[in-house]
A and B are shown apart, each in its own frame.
Chain A
Amino acid sequence: MRTRLAVVAGLMAIPFSTFAQPRLPDGHPDLQGTYDLATLTPLERPAGTKAVLTPEEAAKLEKDAAGQRAKSNEAISGDRSAPPKGGDGSTGPAGGVGGYNNFWLDPGSRYTVVDGQIRASIIVDPPDGRAPPLNAAARKRMLALLARPTSDAQESRDVGLEPAGSYDNPEQRPLGERCLLGFGSTSGPPALPDYFYNNLHQIVQTRDSVMILTEMVHDARIVRMNAEHLPKTIRRWMGDSVGHWEGDTLVVDTTNFNDQTRFRGSTENLHVVERFSRIDAKTLLYRFTVEDPATWDRPWSGEYAWPATNEPIYEYACHEANYALEDILRGARTREAEAAEKTRK
């Protein structure tokens, strides 16, 4: 009886699937391909909502998103006036001047499905679907570093809210704005959707290495298989990633971040564990756990599906025309000159 129960439990633990796991000659799953991480599922669950959406709820939200997109693409008057002096009232990234049209964007149109559930958030632990609050040490650190935006900081805030010194030199600008790392932890780890565009990632796999290419800003991370971590003195933008197989799951362990990446305010001691496996022949399951006791009082985890795509991934060449960084710094110098002129008068 006990044996039968164990067998039944074992069968239940194996997800039902009909696909043949593609494998490389070494016998491990072949996870290679290009994947589009775009999804409507946010990282954190909106307050007061459930963890899993019903098909009807998801269909409505997806229809609403498509409707908003269609509306934003509608024609406006060709005979329009200039926008209002003093700013158009837009907030956040658009910084009062409005940004650019939605037709540039490719933010995803569907909610992610994991274990047959339509998920309302990528974060699954804590169970409320929200990252744990920054602990006291992290809050103190963040205040001290407010003038140094993190790699995953919103790339812009209203000018009036930017802390003093934010525009003093290129080093003070966010890593994405400087073309050093993808915006919003697209490169990871953990690799998150951008909710904007350029969500493609490519995996290339050999026996000894796995390469994860992020289209946004063109970040390539090399995972060394069955290797030890580098000495703690060697620090990298995306950390040092080593991998191993647990059954048919690729487990990637990353430490040795530098002190500027700072995922959501973390320290260089951030530790990320990622798990890549197949849901089916055309979809990967991506799971991650992050921990940094100097930032959060508990580890936290997320998961979402990576659907394969036949679309090509393009090079980024981000520095090639980064006129924006020049304009931003020139803008700051202009404002300083104007302020000095006022003082002189």
Chain B
Amino acid sequence: MKVLVSITALCLALALPLAAHHAFGGEFDPDRPILLKGKVVKVEWVNPHTWIHVEVTKPDGAKEVWMIEGGSPNSLLRHGVTRDSLPLGTEIVVDGYQARDHSLRRANGRNLTYPDGRKLLLGSSAPEAQNDPDPPKQK
């Protein structure tokens, strides 16, 4: 069942338009697909592209931080997103491809979702954070 769901999700993901602005094909390696599950430890709301830093725990227990490339933050700000919309500690799931220089733990955020699969940052706040009785504070 899990396999079936994944395949369906993959087909959906392939069918939907995904956007990029600069040479994503030059920046990221099609032979290095990644799936990351971890918590947000830093967000750079900057141009030309937002970078979300995610701390993941590897199978051996070691932690490492990945930087995920998104789009420009300007339009999101106009849609009500603020620096508090993605609080530190928020658990997210990222699929994408690693940078061609594999010494960099950087990847594109081909899909950025919460653990239940909802896309990030739609609407003006992250519901998980509101539901969390003790949400992590922005540093």
Contacts and interface: CB of A to CB of B under 8 A. Distances in A.
A155 B21 contact: yes
Nearest to A218: B47
Contact of B111 (A76, A156, A327, A328): A76
How many interface residues does chain A have, given as a range? 35 or more
A116 interface: no
A143 interface: no
Contact of B122 (A73, A82, A100, A167): A73
Contacts of B51: 321, 323
Main secondary structure of the interface of B (DSSP, over half): mixed
A104 B69 CA distance: 11
B23 A97 contact: no
A323 B106 contact: yes
Nearest to B9: A77
Contacts of B23: 95, 155-157, 159, 162, 173, 177, 328
Contacts of A162: 23, 26
B1 to A, nearest CB: 10
Interface in B3-43: 5-6, 8-10, 12-14, 16-35
Interface in A19-78: 68, 71-78
Interface stretch (A9-17, A279-287, A292-300, A331-339): A331-339
Interface in B79-102: 79, 93, 95-97, 99-102
A100 B108 contact: yes
Nearest to A178: B22
B93 A197 contact: no
A88 interface: yes
Nearest to A80: B9
15 contacts: A73-B119, A78-B114, A81-B10, A83-B33, A90-B18, A99-B18, A100-B109, A101-B119, A104-B71, A105-B75, A177-B23, A196-B21, A198-B74, A324-B22, A327-B106
A-B pairs, 4 with minimum CB distance: A95-B25, A104-B71, A99-B20, A331-B100
Interface of B: 2, 5-6, 8-10, 12-14, 16-35, 44, 46-51, 67, 69-72, 74-79, 93, 95-97, 99-102, 104, 106, 108-122
